[in-house]
Amino acid sequence: MAKSKRGKVIKAEGNWRGTCPVCGRTRVKIVWPESGVRGARKICKACYARAHRP
């Protein structure tokens, strides 16, 4: 995991932990960007990996 996704770097951002808008998982890190038809939003790591699978 990149250092920009852990520790004090993400804790400096507000609202870094919450409910993923895609899968509905609660209390997870919401720091991976997703842009689509509905605009840009942040999603959890599992949904980001699922969306960027080859």
Query: pLDDT (tens digit, 9 = 90+) per residue, 13-51?
Result: 888 899 999 999 999 999 999 887 778 899 999 999 999
Position 11 pLDDT exceeds 90: no
Asked if 24 and 5 touch (Cβ cutoff 8 Å), the reply is no
Residue 1 pLDDT grade (very low, low, confident, very high; cuts 50, 70, 90): low
Would you say residue 4 has pLDDT above 90?
A: no
10 — pLDDT class (breaks 50, 70, 90): confident
Q: Is 46 exposed, middle or buried (0-12, 13-18, 19+ CB in 10 A)?
A: middle
pTM of the model: 0.77
